[in-house]
Structure 1
Amino acid sequence: MSRPRLKKFERAVVADPLKLQPRDIALLRDVGEFRFLNTEQIFALHPGGKRNLSRRLTALFQHGYLDRPQSQTSARLLSSHMVYALGRRGAELLSKDAEERERIYRRVREVERTLPLMAHSLMISQFRVCLTLAAKTHGVKITRWSQGYDLKEMLRHVHGENPSLVPDAFFTLEDKDDVINFFLEADRGTMTAERFVDKLKTYWAWRSDER
């Protein structure tokens, strides 16, 4: 008798515990750090047999370590690439205490709150995946990456008040003796040219203040 076909967004009842491997932990850390990753992005970060990795992703989902946000079905995403977020058991595994676990959950909730932001978040993830692979190839270190609530808190600490503008990300690259900071703006064609220029002016003012 053939096994019943599992629905993409429903977990089956699993009796046997999943024996986690070191590669599973690395995968969960990446999904937690990136907030959302689709299968294509995961394959790029974790090269190897795609079929085996796909099965492992399914197992991690079925056991609650990963989630498959159902909102991706109406967010105009490519249906061939399943989107994953960190699940409750995954957050519990990676967090050292309740405070860190809540911080991990907050990362996901802040993006999942509205549907259009999931596609935007995946755009940021795509940039970060490409940056990670390029940096590894050329021996450049990504020493800092901050986005979302974490970045807002960092800017509040620097400026002493709620920031009027929060970039999509802030990151630092180290290349030999050079240390370079970057702001990231990911636009899916929804921002006017005037608004984009205003943001650039704000970033330039911040840079000038730091000198």
Structure 2
Amino acid sequence: MNGSERKNKWQRTKSPEAMILQPRDQEIITKVYEFGFLSRDQIQKLFNLSCTSRANIRLRKLFDHGYLARRFLPAILGSSMAIYFLGPEGAGLVSEKIGVDPSEIQRRQKSLEQRKDLFFDHDLLVNEVRIAFYQALANPNGLRLDRWLTPIDCLEEYSCCNAQSGKEIKTVFRPDGYFRYFHNDRLFGCFVEVDRSTMNNSRFQSKVKMYLGYAMSGLYQRKYGLKFFRVLVVTKNKERLFNLKASVERFTDKIFWFTTWQNLQPGKVFGPIWQRPGKDGTFTLLEP
């Protein structure tokens, strides 16, 4: 192998050195599939990999051997960031390890490959929310993750009747994610919404109506097996939080819970960092 091959970040090395796939490698490959994609920093957080250079070397090997694929996001300043996807050699491993049908793996990967670069900044933030909860659940204290679904898994199209016109309208329901967790023996279900402050109040209120309509449709209980859900909104700062909270209060004082990125830390995510429309103070995600 020559130096130019080793340094080409865009292409796999033609004849990579042999590697022995370690248990942690298999876990990384599986997590990349479960999340859809991950940045190197996010992989380091999930697996407590403190040494960046060693992480880069291992990820490069997994890329060269086809277990991972990668894509570089354009950057205005500095170096472009690599995000890692499941590679062609990783599909069989994932199918065997977690029992997913190969056709389902192919469907998900095709959807991700077609995703435009401009959406990945938002999607990476959704990953950060998920990682914060995963890290919190590593020290459970009566907590246990039941499942986490990506936006692709949550996507749902259905028809409903417009109350004013009486006409049937088609609705697309696509949250940023969904997860369920047990606290002792009680099961909670939560949708996730990541707000980057790029959405005006009118568009956000459309999302509020989307969730309220979904709650009234009965589809949630049919698909997820629970009667009630929460919508966890993570936003930029307190000012934005208060603005969104006031927007929601025009429609409901239920289901929506708000916090900021500053508060979204592994040791705090289930604690009293959440605000609710129409209510003063803060709340924990352990409350019924």
Band of TM-score, shorter chain: 0.7 to 0.9
In 2: Cα distance, 1:67 partner to 1:78 partner: 22
Provide, for residues 170-195 of structure 1, a one-character-per-residue CA deviation record: whole Å limited to 9, x for no partner. Answer: 11111112211111122333322222
The equivalent position to 2:147 in structure 1, one of 144, 148, 152, is: 144
TM normalised by structure 1 equals 0.81
Match of 1:128 in 2: 130
In 2: Cα distance, 1:90 partner to 1:42 partner: 16
Q: 1:88: how far off?
A: 0.8
Paired residues, what number? 203
Matches within 5 A, 1:132-211: 132-139=134-141, 140-152=143-155, 163-208=171-216, 209=218, 210=221, 211=227
Match of 1:106 in 2: 107
Provide, for residues 117-167 of structure 1, a one-character-per-residue CA deviation record: whole Å limited to 9, x for no partner. Answer: 2222211111111111012234422211112332226x76xxxx9752211
Inter-CA distance 148–62: structure 2 relative to 1 (3 Å threshold): same
Q: 1:205: how far off?
A: 4.0
The answer (yes or no) to whether the contact 1:95–1:101 under 8 Å persists in 2 is yes
Match of 1:3 in 2: 3
Provide, for residues 96-128 of structure 1, a one-character-per-residue CA deviation record: whole Å limited to 9, x for no partner. Answer: 499722322332332342121222221111111
Pairwise CA RMSD: 2.9
Are 1:93 and 2:101 matched, yes or no?
A: no
Inter-CA distance 78–202: structure 2 relative to 1 (3 Å threshold): farther
Match of 1:68 in 2: 70
In 1: Cα distance, 2:170 partner to 2:107 partner: 19
Give the % identical residues: 31
- SS of 1:179's equivalent in the other structure is strand
The answer (yes or no) to whether the contact 2:176–2:192 under 8 Å persists in 1 is yes
TM normalised by structure 2 equals 0.62
- SS of 1:85's equivalent in the other structure is strand
Provide, for residues 6-58 of structure 1, a one-character-per-residue CA deviation record: whole Å limited to 9, x for no partner. Answer: 12121111255431111110010110111111111111111145232321111
58-67 vs 184-193, greater mean Cα deviation = 184-193
In 2: Cα distance, 1:99 partner to 1:174 partner: 24
The answer (yes or no) to whether the contact 2:74–2:81 under 8 Å persists in 1 is no
Inter-CA distance 151–207: structure 2 relative to 1 (3 Å threshold): same
Larger helix percent? 1
Inter-CA distance 15–180: structure 2 relative to 1 (3 Å threshold): closer
Bigger relative contact order (CA 8 A; separation at least 6) = 1
Match of 2:120 in 1: 118
| Bigger Rg over Cα | 2
Q: Mind listing any 5+ residue stretches in structure 2 that lack a counterpart?
A: 159-168, 222-226, 228-288
Q: Mind listing any 5+ residue stretches in structure 1 that lack a counterpart?
A: none
